[in-house]
Chains A and B, each alone.
Chain A
Amino acid sequence: GAVVSQHPSRVICKSGTSVKIECRSLDFQATTMFWYRQFPKQSLMLMATSNEGSKATYEQGVEKDKFLINHASLTLSTLTVTSAHPEDSSFYICSAFSDRGRLYEQYFGPGTRLTVT
């Protein structure tokens, strides 16, 4: 089956620094990738939709200047949390969608636990 990886799996950073999270589709090309965040004991909230070669579409309430998303290739999307603060601590999950084969299925990465101290 399709595999999506995320790196790093866990990261701890100091307040005010920036952190980059990578999301890779390992064995398929992802035309669209989604970024979610999940607070403890809560559901996944969509942050943004990223299409290869174009600007990401952010959900209402998500600061695009704080959460920079780049989808430079069909297998890689990155989320950069700029000037991170403790309230940005969360579990970030990406998913990848392919327009070939199973058109209706997203493949989820294992998540990245971000802790801002």
Chain B
Amino acid sequence: AQSVTQLGSHVSVSEGALVLLRCNYSSSVPPYLFWYVQYPNQGLQLLLKYTSAATLVKGINGFEAEFKKSETSFHLTKPSAHMSDAAEYFCAVSDSSKANTGNQFYFGTGTSLTVIP
């Protein structure tokens, strides 16, 4: 079974400050991990993904995340927040062993990021 927990349903940061969105996963098999961003009334946009290669993953828009197996975490960070980063962020986990047959994604409950000018 797989699941994702996102700590903090709402996070507020000042413009220019560090962004840290937390994600912890539970998986009985080696996971693939993803971060998505969703703007109002839009679909999901992939920010970055971990697929068992480098543990520090760099994504779009200056975001990165580090896979820490010992902590079962995949926290999302960005050194300096921008107003355009205000959105909903979802962490997701899938089963790497099913990569060639179609993956079911398990999403966290999301974190709403507010950027204060």
CB < 8 Å: which of B46, B94, B100, B107 contacts A99?
A: B100
List A contacts of B96 (CB < 8 A). Answer: 104
Total residue contacts A-B, CB cutoff 8 A? 59
User: In the bound complex, how far is the Cα of B104 from the Cα of A46, in angstroms?
Assistant: 8
Decide if the interface of chain A is mainly helix, strand, loop or mixed: strand
Chain B residues with a Cβ under 8 A of chain A: 32, 36, 41-46, 49, 51, 90, 94, 96, 99-110, 112
- Smallest CB–CB gap between A98 and chain B, Å? 9
User: In the bound complex, how far is the Cα of B97 from the Cα of A7, in angstroms?
Assistant: 32
- Smallest CB–CB gap between B42 and chain A, Å? 6
Q: Are B42 and A49 in contact (CB under 8 A)?
A: no
CB < 8 Å: which of A51, A103, A110 contacts B42?
A: A110
Q: Are B102 and A49 in contact (CB under 8 A)?
A: yes
Closest to A46 in B: B104
Q: Are A104 and B102 in contact (CB under 8 A)?
A: no
Q: Are B102 and A46 in contact (CB under 8 A)?
A: no
Q: Are B43 and A97 in contact (CB under 8 A)?
A: no
CB < 8 Å: which of A43, A104, A110, A111 contacts B103?
A: A104
List B contacts of A111 (CB < 8 A). Answer: 41-43
- Smallest CB–CB gap between B26 and chain A, Å? 16
Let me know if A70 is at the binding interface, CB within 8 A: no
Interface core residue of A49, A91, A105 (most chain B CB under 10 Å) = A105
Return the CB mask of A82-112 against B: 1 if under 8 Å, else 0: 0000000001010101010001111011110
User: A44 and B103 in contact (CB under 8 A), knowing A104-B51, A108-B44?
Assistant: no
User: A105 and B105 in contact (CB under 8 A), knowing A42-B110, A43-B110, A44-B90?
Assistant: no
Q: Are A104 and B49 in contact (CB under 8 A)?
A: yes
User: In the bound complex, how far is the Cα of B51 from the Cα of A62, in angstroms?
Assistant: 30
Closest to A30 in B: B102
